[in-house]
């Protein structure tokens, strides 16, 4: 009787073809007739087959592991080539696989997962920063260049531009009149108009005329110059009060006009004097609205054609009452100029007097202009209207 292992020896020999022909025929005959025996062979083959397949599987796994390890090593070398070179240079054994720390690994996974999102976020941030900077720059530029916002233009004159023309004119003049020396004066950067508030050296002008000024120079019609400094400013109503501080200043004398405390009526004939150029310029019109730009009740709208340089000029009615201070105009509307109401100036002066800061304000009470013709009014008035020159 054969044991099972003997059968296995027989099967092994049969499968590898080592069996002699008669034995082989015998075996095949037995396989055909005995199902139990055939089943035994089947089991044997399944067993050895599985074993071999298992062996192949393990071999394949080793192969794939090797490939992966090789790839990892290459990646590690690629990530840190300088480290690898260093280790070669110091003649220590080169490390085939560089370990990366746990934190770094986590960071890398995070980066892999959120790379796209982070890049989008970064671009948005960069764009936002630049848009903001650019926007601010443009806004500032717009503020500075013309002082215009939403079509509103303040009327201070940029002297620099005019100066160039003047110099050219001077040159021509000196060529004509050979020995005349051109007067060298510094005309300042901006100029506007101002007028006397009290006889003892207080003046009124617009705030935007003296905005950002380092020093101020007041020039009267007869080229008399005084140095002045701002005493008080009211940005909201575009008002500034200046005081002349020259020692040799004697006072303006009696002011011919008085200040109106109430409001004027629509349709009132009004006029102004100012220095939009080097000479005194008269302009007139009517009071066309009792509110200013965008309904600002601190201002009148007037139909006087005003120009840069008119800012801070006095606005007077027919009877010689001062009713406002020229402030600006609206670009997109035909001859719409704006003037601060004198009532606000009065309130400002009253509150300053009440606060007791500095000297008292002795406002003119009597009006010498009422009932006189306009040229006469202007002849009296012109000595109290000044150029305000601003140096930055």
Partner 1 sequence: MGKGQPSYTDEEFVAAIRHGDDRALAQLYRLHFPMISHYVLQNSGTDDEAKDVYQEGVMVFYEKVRDGSLELSCQIKTYLYAVCRRLWLKRLTEKTRFGGRLDDHEPFLETGAEADLELAEERDRRFATMAEALDRIGEPCRSLLEGFYLLDKSMQQLTAEFGYTNADNAKNQKYKCLVRLKKLFFNHYQEEEHY
The residues that touch partner 1, with contacts defined as CB under 8 A, are 4-6, 8-9, 12, 43-44, 47-48, 50-58, 60-61, 63-65, 67-68, 70-71, 105, 109, 112-113
For 220, residues 6+ apart whose C-beta sits below 8 A from its C-beta are 226, 383, 386, 387
In the complex, least distance from residue 64 CB atom to partner 1, rounded to whole angstroms: 5
- Which CB sits closer to partner 1, 45 or 278? 45
- CB burial readout 92-116, b (16+ within 10 A) else e: eeeeeeeeeeeeeeeeeeeeeeeee
In the complex, least distance from residue 75 CB atom to partner 1, rounded to whole angstroms: 10
- Both tokens of 106, joined, read 């986590």
In the complex, least distance from residue 42 CB atom to partner 1, rounded to whole angstroms: 11
- Which CB sits closer to partner 1, 6 or 86? 6
- Which CB sits closer to partner 1, 118 or 133? 118
Distance CA 271, CA 374 (A): 10
- CB burial readout 169-192, b (16+ within 10 A) else e: eeeeeeeeeeeeeeeeeebbbbbb
Task: Give the distance, in angstroms, between the CA of residue 322 and the centroid of all CA atoms in the same chain.
Answer: 41
In the complex, least distance from residue 46 CB atom to partner 1, rounded to whole angstroms: 8
- Which CB sits closer to partner 1, 120 or 366? 120
In the complex, least distance from residue 25 CB atom to partner 1, rounded to whole angstroms: 23
What contacts 24+ positions apart, CB below 8 Å, involve 133-140? none
On whether the CB atoms of residues 242 and 207 are closer than 8 A, the answer is no
Alpha-helical regions (H) of the chain: 4-15, 21-33, 35-79, 81-89, 102-146, 159-176, 207-210, 342-355, 374-381
In the complex, least distance from residue 122 CB atom to partner 1, rounded to whole angstroms: 21
- Which CB sits closer to partner 1, 61 or 269? 61
Whose CA is closest to 77, among 96, 103, 102, 100? 96
In the complex, least distance from residue 41 CB atom to partner 1, rounded to whole angstroms: 12
Distance CA 351, CA 39 (A): 122
CA distances for 357 relative to 60, 230, 349, angstroms: 100, 14, 11
- Which CB sits closer to partner 1, 54 or 282? 54
- Which CB sits closer to partner 1, 60 or 143? 60
- Which CB sits closer to partner 1, 19 or 242? 19
On whether the CB atoms of residues 261 and 346 are closer than 8 A, the answer is yes
In the complex, least distance from residue 81 CB atom to partner 1, rounded to whole angstroms: 16
What single-letter DSSP state applies at residue 362?
-
């Amino acid at each position: 009787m054969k044991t099972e292992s003997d059968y296995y020896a027989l099967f092994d020999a049969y499968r590898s073809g080592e069996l002699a022909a008669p034995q082989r025929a015998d075996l095949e005959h037995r396989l055909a007739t005995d199902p139990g025996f055939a089943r035994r062979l089947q089991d044997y083959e399944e067993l050895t087959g599985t074993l071999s397949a298992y062996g192949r599987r393990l071999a394949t796994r080793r192969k794939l592991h090797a490939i992966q390890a090789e790839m990892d090593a290459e990646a590690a070398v690629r990530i840190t080539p300088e480290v690898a070179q260093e280790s070669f240079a110091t003649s220590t054994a080169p490390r085939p696989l560089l370990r990366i720390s746990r934190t770094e690994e986590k960071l890398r996974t995070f980066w892999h997962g959120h790379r796209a999102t982070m890049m989008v976020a970064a671009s948005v941030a960069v764009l936002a920063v630049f848009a903001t900077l650019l926007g601010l720059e443009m806004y500032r530029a717009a503020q500075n260049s013309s002082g215009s916002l939403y079509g509103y233009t303040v009327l201070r004159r940029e002297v620099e531009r005019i100066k160039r023309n003047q110099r050219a004119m001077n040159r021509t003049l000196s060529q004509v009149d050979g020995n005349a020396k051109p007067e060298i004066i510094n005309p300042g950067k901006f100029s506007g108009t101002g007028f006397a508030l009290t006889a003892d050296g207080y003046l009124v002008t617009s705030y935007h005329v003296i905005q950002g000024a380092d020093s101020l120079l007041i020039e009267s019609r007869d080229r008399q110059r005084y140095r002045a400094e701002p005493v008080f400013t009211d940005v909201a109503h575009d008002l500034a009060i200046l005081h002349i501080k020259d020692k040799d200043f004697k006072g303006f004398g009696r002011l011919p006009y008085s200040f109106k405390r109430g409001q004027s009526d629509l349709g009132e004939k009004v006029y102004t004097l100012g220095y939009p150029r080097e000479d005194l310029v008269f302009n007139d019109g009517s009071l066309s609205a009792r509110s200013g730009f965008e309904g600002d009740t601190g201002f009148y709208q007037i139909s006087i054609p005003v120009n840069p340089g008119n800012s801070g000029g006095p606005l007077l009615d027919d009877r010689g009452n001062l009713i406002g201070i020229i402030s600006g105009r609206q670009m997109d509307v035909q001859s719409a100029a704006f003037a601060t109401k004198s009532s606000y100036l009065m309130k400002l002066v009253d509150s300053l007097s009440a606060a007791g800061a500095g000297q008292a304000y002795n406002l003119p009470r009597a009006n010498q202009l009422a009932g006189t013709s306009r040229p006469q009014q202007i002849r009296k008035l012109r000595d109290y209207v000044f150029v305000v020159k601003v140096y930055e």
